[in-house]
Structure 1
């Protein structure tokens, strides 16, 4: 576990800085353009390239490309160098074409992802922004492949730190817009304003890709374009990746339904639409991005090697250590999100063009998402068990089932709930769906490796929740006292709640977990103490 923790710590440090600057990025975004009409248009346009990349590349990277690179490094005479160059060449060529087609088809894409009518200010603004943002597809995809190659060489720093530069570039862009732009009034923005926002966002991705390309050169990787695609094992990749793409298609159909429903809710209640959903979801993903992604990125290559060598005991050990390590921090954080949601979002989003009431609503959505944090993280870990075996079919069926449940519940909640609660209903549907998905995925993965140590993991999770209960109680009391004595959750009051309920609450959890001898927490505390003592 110590090796995995060291690798995870390196990545978590970079991811932590990335997420902190991401906080600043979303804070400046809300300050500059708000979460009403202009904010909704920007967030709709911004989401589309990520959806396209999921369909074409990112899902395949984790499930197919990384294991294939590992096998090429193990079995090819040149250590897989030529194979990596073919992959990078192919990704670059394909994504340049896709980016060009996406720019041309921007109106169709906005029509697919929103419930806005053609000719309305929201629709026209989103189309213009999309045409400025979609060129980033090529750079983001190339950077993703470069990051995958670095990860197979156990070089995790650059892929985790490169997004920091991206965030810094975009922060500067939004600050510039706040100074020289036309504000949050969607009827007042000019083409120049939209070019600043859109091209500035693309510039951040370009900078991120350049960092990863430089990091590749520093580890001795020399990029030579190779168009001999017959040797790129596309047939093998296609057979394995077809199921992964199927899984991504299913999840993206669910995301498309989410954006359509949230955009419809935003039409009914300003500030309660796509922007509220997007900003809450980004905060919900923060703990998983810092902790979960770091552990999973370090885990997958080792699990793939263990499977290739027939060491199922090591697969079970790797998975058990990973899930306990992730949950030792996810459990208290999930409870704090459920209690402190508005206190988190008011200091971040309650400024400038965004009102405190809008920020509180984002926090309410975040509270509901807190229910999904642990199930979502465990679900993602379980998918990597299948991927390490080269099985990309099972995750499709599991994901399709979870997405179907999510879609059904989203429609039900959207119909039954008033528009002001619609996005909160979307978050609740997400939590329920991933909870059920984690249960099904666990049963199937356990059969594959002849047991995942469910009793051991279950007992560990129970002890973690018991250790986190005093933290949740402290956070609840802090919210109650501050709101009763000082009134609502303004900026200063929210900071007080976060300092006492969040800061002291996490310290309380660490102390209680240490007394309960929860090994993962003790290991984390010991590692930090040793680093501080140096």
Structure 2
């Protein structure tokens, strides 16, 4: 393809909101969401442990969580936002009728899909859990599935509400909505601790108080998360009205959605393989894999997702105006910002590893070994954080251009790598190290996907300012390595000078807090000295805040 070109475009109708301001405000909300979310995971381990009950709960949550990650986490939102932006720009009513048709169809489709999933719950459990190993509990996983699968309706509605609000430049309340969910889950776990029962005795009777409290309470949290944004919809001027007529763009959306369904199915295939392998390993492997994944996503969720959510409407406007150069500029800026924000954190998670697991999860019913397993699983997968974020950025570029086929093809490649290497893990690893191999493979698949996505975009758009990204990446690697070295020195000194008999939990917290803060200071300080220009907006904002004082 020829060099990137600027096509004729009309002047923008209104100024776009500051990317730094929009992503910064969302980052605060996302930070609160992630903190409360992780607190709920820690309480789950403390109250329930990381054995067969938690593994079964994780399996029951797999399908709704997959919907969350693939829909609310970006795919459905990324498809709808460009279409909504175009409707607002092209329609005399600002896209109101188009929104109402979406709001009419979505609940019906989601409810039908949920009913089918619930009828197939025993079959789904058989697919996800290898009952022949004798280490899993398929009946308990099925019982949880019956209680948790209704979340699909509200995950889908929440994704649609969020997309509509984002297209109108409203980011605040949707970013805070998960906090309400997490608070409901924390209350649920408190009630779980108080009620009697043993979910493992006869789970399919669906009468055990602990089973019902944990399942219904978790689902209620998702209901609250979806519905809490309705006041923001009203303030944004969005009025619900049943509108069953057809719009030509619904055909366009349907075509994009079919590719999205293919994308989702491919993702589920990868999850099924990993889940079957993990549940056949030592008890707690599935919990370790999922909790390490949630820790892995924490930096991306706070920083990366906020940035991508803010940049998506802006990129969609550039694509709608056929502004190829603007799309490439947004891709380059987003990729460089993701690298500078996430690479130092990736290096930190790699060296903190098991200490982070002990600090967060060595409480209550959870043992030291299980806590270390979660942390080590995170450490071996942390290298995939930046490739994962870059891949999410690349997908949004394709969606902004109304191309859902290419992301599905990239997903096919990524899942093929994931499944192939996961099966290889079964052949070369024992049941105790299996979860480490699965986590490593997951991150490796992201690396392959990021490289393939870059090649695909180069063919599609021409030059991608790869040189600027390479410079930023190289300088950030140097700063990140220096920061990681600082963490290692703190860890070594703590082990050397800690009094004999000091609790592993105390040592872990010292390393995580002191080493983490020092490591970040060294990493970002080194990057400033190396003149990583992508840090300038953040440093200017900090300087202004200090001057006000």
Q: TM-score range by the shorter chain?
A: over 0.9
Q: SS in structure 2 opposite 1:420?
A: coil
The answer as to whether partners of 2:76 and 2:260 remain within 8 angstroms in 1 is no
The answer as to whether partners of 1:135 and 1:202 remain within 8 angstroms in 2 is yes
C-alpha distance in 2 between matches for 1:55 and 1:17 = 22
Q: SS in structure 2 opposite 1:199?
A: helix
Aligned length: 528
C-alpha distance in 1 between matches for 2:506 and 2:79 = 48
TM-aligned CA deviation for residue 232 of structure 1: 6.5
Paired residue for 1:103?
Answer: 118
Whether 1:238 aligns to 2:265 is: no
TM-aligned CA deviation for residue 384 of structure 1: 1.4
Paired residues for 1:389-400 under 5 Å: 389-400=401-412
The answer as to whether partners of 1:59 and 1:245 remain within 8 angstroms in 2 is no
Whether 1:516 aligns to 2:530 is: yes
TM-aligned CA deviation for residue 12 of structure 1: 0.7
Normalising by structure 1, report the TM-score.
Answer: 0.94
The answer as to whether partners of 1:482 and 1:497 remain within 8 angstroms in 2 is yes
TM-aligned CA deviation for residue 380 of structure 1: 1.2
1:291-333 Cα shifts (integer Å, max 9, x gaps): 1111111112111111121222211211111111111111100
TM-aligned CA deviation for residue 54 of structure 1: 6.5
Whether 1:270 aligns to 2:286 is: no
Q: Bigger shift: 397-406 or 158-167?
A: 397-406
Determine which of 264, 276, 301 is the counterpart of 1:289. 301
Q: SS in structure 2 opposite 1:227?
A: coil
Whether 1:507 aligns to 2:507 is: no
Determine which of 262, 271, 276 is the counterpart of 1:260. 276
Distance 1:489 1:232, change over 3 A: farther
Whether 1:46 aligns to 2:58 is: no
C-alpha distance in 2 between matches for 1:6 and 1:53 = 26
1:71-120 Cα shifts (integer Å, max 9, x gaps): 11111111001111111111111112222332232211111212125999
Paired residue for 2:3?
Answer: none
Paired residue for 1:88?
Answer: 103
TM-aligned CA deviation for residue 369 of structure 1: 1.4
Distance 1:81 1:444, change over 3 A: same
Paired residue for 2:238?
Answer: 221
Unaligned stretches of 5+ in structure 2?
A: 1-15
TM-aligned CA deviation for residue 528 of structure 1: 3.2
Paired residues for 1:473-512 under 5 Å: 473-486=485-498, 490-512=504-526
Determine which of 210, 225, 228 is the counterpart of 2:227. 210
Distance 1:32 1:344, change over 3 A: same
1:431-480 Cα shifts (integer Å, max 9, x gaps): 22211211111011122221111111001110011112221101111222
Determine which of 60, 64, 77 is the counterpart of 1:62. 77
C-alpha distance in 1 between matches for 2:128 and 2:229 = 30
Q: Bigger shift: 21-30 or 231-240?
A: 231-240
TM-aligned CA deviation for residue 489 of structure 1: 7.3
C-alpha distance in 1 between matches for 2:514 and 2:371 = 20
Distance 1:484 1:270, change over 3 A: farther
Whether 1:373 aligns to 2:385 is: yes
Paired residues for 1:296-335 under 5 Å: 296-335=308-347
Distance 1:238 1:261, change over 3 A: same
C-alpha distance in 2 between matches for 1:466 and 1:351 = 36
Q: SS in structure 1 opposite 2:433?
A: helix
1:463-505 Cα shifts (integer Å, max 9, x gaps): 0111122211011112222234437872111110012210121
TM-aligned CA deviation for residue 50 of structure 1: 2.7
C-alpha distance in 2 between matches for 1:13 and 1:332 = 19
Determine which of 148, 152, 157 is the counterpart of 2:167. 152
Q: SS in structure 1 opposite 2:224?
A: helix
Normalising by structure 2, report the TM-score.
Answer: 0.92
